Structure 1
Amino acid sequence: MTLSFKKDLDKYKDLDEDEILNNLSVDELKQLETALEEMDPENALLPAGLRQKNQTTKQATGRFDRERLLKYLEKEAMEYKDREDIVPFTGEKKAILGVHTLVTSNQTYDGTGAKEGYNNVVKGEKMNPVFDEPPNPTNVEETLDRIKRNDASLTEVNLNNIKNIPVPTLKDFAKAMEKNTHVTKFSMAATRSNDPIAVAFSDTLRENKTLRSLNLESNFITSAGMQSLIDSLRDNDTLTEIKIDNQRQQLGTNVEMEIAKMLEENNSIVKFGYHFTKQGPRSRAAAAITKNNDLVRRRRVEGDQ
């Protein structure tokens, strides 16, 4: 097959190209010129006018008039007959097609309602009332006096949500708790307590050996005041529960690490209310609390035996 193909090509070797071009007509020459032009319609790098040769042979009928062209297009569109709908329109299909979402409330009322109102009965959902919490009924002055007198009937102090207690009065509470031997639970969440109050209660934790639970949540204690509390808890072996979460400022990584170290050294705290922001201190604190609870369980089992 290769030899026969070469034989077919041999007959074109003696052709005279000039003679062929001279025998072409004008139209054939234009077609040849178009075929030989190096144009690429898909080349995005070329300008639009150079991607393809202008093939328009008609003469321009006049100057370009945009307004006249728009009127002509509008006229053609108006005269064009719409295609007839094979399936007639029915109102039941509006919900399937989603048309009901395009209708306003007034249009819906005009179509379905009457002068007396809607035909159907609409019943509102009953809402359960939410009442404000009652204020804390604790008498601050009387409670402070009973703590100072070491009243045996006072075992729990609740000052939560009393925001108008002066700072000196709160310090007096901390000072009175140092020598009290009957109060086992002291709670003062959301009392606007700050660092001086935390320092005062750190002294209380060093002296008091009766207090079992202390709640200082939702206050304004910063890392400095919390560090003082942490230092006092290292030497305290009677407190079993302390809550210090939800302070105005975040305590920071260093304080959280100190908290975890304190819990590892303290064997009495079995409940610690604080949401750690770092994984390392959180894991160490959880392990320490688990260890302390296990110690409590072992002591209880040994006591039963």
Structure 2
Amino acid sequence: MTTAAKLYGKDLSEYDDVDVDDLLAQLTPEEINILAKEVDPDDSFMPPSERCSYECDKSPTGPLNRKKLIEHINKQALETPDRPELKPYVPGVIRGKKWVPPPQESAKEKEVEEQIAIDLGEEYEQALSNATQEEIIDLAAILGFHSMMNQDQYHASLLNSGQPVGLGWDGITKASQPKPYPMEPPNDTDVDATIKQVREDDASLIDLNWNNIKNISDEKFIQLFEGLEINTHLESLSLTNVGLTDKTAQRLADALEKNSTLRVLNVETNFISPAVIVRLIRALLKTKSIEEFRCSNQRSQVLGNKIEMEITQLVEQNPTLLRLGLHLEFNDARHRVAAHLQRNIDRIRKDLTLRLQFRFFNMNHRKPALIQ
């Protein structure tokens, strides 16, 4: 039970049945003016005329006649002379600056912009493809895309139609029940067997995933990186949350300088220092084969301006890197890295387009074989 509201020790529930209009009718004009000064001027429930501090003491000349008022305003507007122009008007003479429309983009630039695709990732793509219509509408409302909803859906969301009692805009805010998700199965990759495959350059081993495997010794890491130097088939290596330290990461950097087939490297959530991260990124310039490198969430969350600028300079020298998974705090470094990665993506897309065009040209203009 809630306690009754009180003012100066008196219960306010006694005044629920009191008619305010009758009380105001009993007040004199002087008392009403004093009461108006005590009212909060920022009260949005009061009309603007009563919240204005200006007070007019003139007596009214008569009732309001809107038609005569508009006629009087129009008459004054017609009778008031125009301001004289400083420069007289001459037909055919342009006064001031002439507006010139901005240059239109060429059709080729528009085609290039339309060809750029947005990669949302496998998780977001799968979530959006399996989402129902109601979930898409809720997501559009959260993001502010009200234009994606039709008129019936918009008014239904405002009127809470179809919503059970207690939910919707007028309901009490409460947390929704979380959906139970099954735990991810443990990584059952055989460490010793995969090390042997890497050292023997097994052609069937293209993707190696050691994520979340605990208690891997430094000797096994060194054996893996020694085999990586001579391996010519492995394309993706994931070492997330495996306890990688600066000692083993230095050995990984040496292996990257000799390997020319690895395209994806993931060393997130480990214990690598910022200086060794720079060493790894510098190693990518040796063979220039890595397209995706991820190394965020390390021992030091803040890299510092000096380290970030050094990483930016190394990334700008890499012509093959397309994705960099690393949090950069400073805007200059973040923008320069993003611009360079976008240039690499555009250049590769352009090269691929030219190759396809050249291939189709050869197919269409191939000379027919002579009939003997």
TM-score calculated relative to the size of structure 1: 0.58
Aligned equivalent of 1:183, options 230, 234, 240: 234
Residue by residue, what CA displacement relative to the aligned partner does 1:138-196 show, whole Å, maximum 9, x if unpaired?
Answer: 11111101111111100000001112111121121111101000100000011110111
Equivalent residue, structure 1, for 2:277: 226
1:38-59 per-position Cα deviation (integer Å, ceiling 9, x unaligned) = xxxxxxxxxxxxxxxxxxxxxx
Distance (Å, rounded) in 1 between the aligned partners of 2:219 and 2:336: 37
Are residues 1:273 and 2:335 paired? no
Output the amino acid matched with 1:271. R
The DSSP-based 3-state class of the residue aligned with 1:233 is: helix
- The answer to whether the Cα contact below 8 Å between 1:136 and 1:162 also exists between their aligned partners in 2 is yes
Query: Which position in structure 1 is the counterpart of 2:179?
Result: 128
Tell me by how many angstroms 1:264 deviates.
0.8
Instruction: Give the share of equivalent positions with the same residue, in percent.
Output: 34
Shift of 1:134: 1.3
Cα distance in 1 for partners of 2:235, 2:267 equals 15
Distance between the aligned counterparts of 1:85 and 1:144, measured in 2?
85
How much does 1:260 deviate? 0.9
Mapped partners of 1:263, 1:157: distance in 2 = 25
Q: Would you say 1:257 and 2:309 are equivalent positions?
A: yes
Letter in 2 for 1:175: E
CA contact (8 A) 2:281 2:315 kept: no
Mapped to 2, the partners of 1:149 and 1:302 lie a distance apart of: 38
Q: Which residue of 2 aligns with 1:12?
A: none
Amino acid at match of 1:196: K
2:343 is the counterpart of 1:291? yes
Which contiguous aligned blocks of 4+ residues in structure 1 show a shift greater than 4 angstroms? 84-88
Segments of structure 1 that go 5 or more residues without pairing to the other structure are: 1-81, 89-124
Structure 1 residues 127 and 222 mapped into 2: Cα distance closer, same or farther (>3 Å)? Answer: closer
Aligned counterpart, 2:74: none
For residues 186-229 of structure 1, give each alpha carbon's deviation from its aligned partner in whole angstroms, at most 9, with x where no partner exists: 00011110111221111111100000010011110002211211
Task: Give runs of aligned pairs for residues 61-72 of structure 1, distance below 5 A.
Answer: none
Q: Does residue 163 in structure 1 map to residue 214 in structure 2? A: yes
* Secondary structure of 1:178's aligned partner: helix
- Higher RCO (CA < 8 A, seq sep 6+): 1
Q: 1: distance between equivalents of 2:311 and 2:207?
A: 26
C-alpha displacement at 1:86, in angstroms?
A: 7.2
| Alignment root-mean-square deviation, CA | 2.5
Equivalent residues of 1:263, 1:285 under 8 A apart: yes
Q: Which AA in structure 1 matches 2:279?
A: S
In 2, Cα distance between the equivalents of 1:87 and 1:172? 84
CA contact (8 A) 1:230 1:258 kept: no
Deviations 1:16-37 (A, max 9, x none): xxxxxxxxxxxxxxxxxxxxxx
Say whether 1:201 aligns with 2:252: yes
2-side partners of 1:126 and 1:294: how far apart? 44
Q: Report the counterpart of residue 145 of structure 1 in structure 2.
A: 196
One-letter code of the match for 2:244?
S
Greater C-alpha radius of gyration: 1
The equivalent of 1:213 in structure 2 is: 264
Counterpart amino acid of 2:304? G
What SS does the corresponding residue of 1:289 show, helix, strand or coil? helix
Q: Could you tell me which amino acid in structure 1 is paired with residue 258 of structure 2?
A: E
Cα distance, 1:280 vs structure 2? 1.2
CA apart distance, 1:297: 0.9
Q: Is there any run of 5+ residues in structure 2 with no aligned partner, and where?
A: 1-10, 18-175, 359-372
Q: State how far apart, in whole Å, the 1-side matches of 2:238 and 2:15 are.
A: 79
Corresponding residue SS for 1:157: strand
The CA deviation at 1:130 is: 3.5
- Shift of residue 126, structure 1, vs aligned partner: 6.2
Per-residue CA deviations over 1:276-295 (Å, capped at 9, x if unaligned) read 11111111101110111111
Q: Give the secondary structure class of the aligned counterpart of 1:235.
A: helix
- Letter matched to residue 241 of structure 1: E
C-alpha offsets along residues 240-287 of structure 1, whole Å, 9 cap, x if unaligned? 110011112132222211111111111000111111111111111011
Aligned residues, how many? 190
Query: Are 1:245 and 2:296 counterparts?
Result: yes
- Code of the aligned partner of 1:240: E
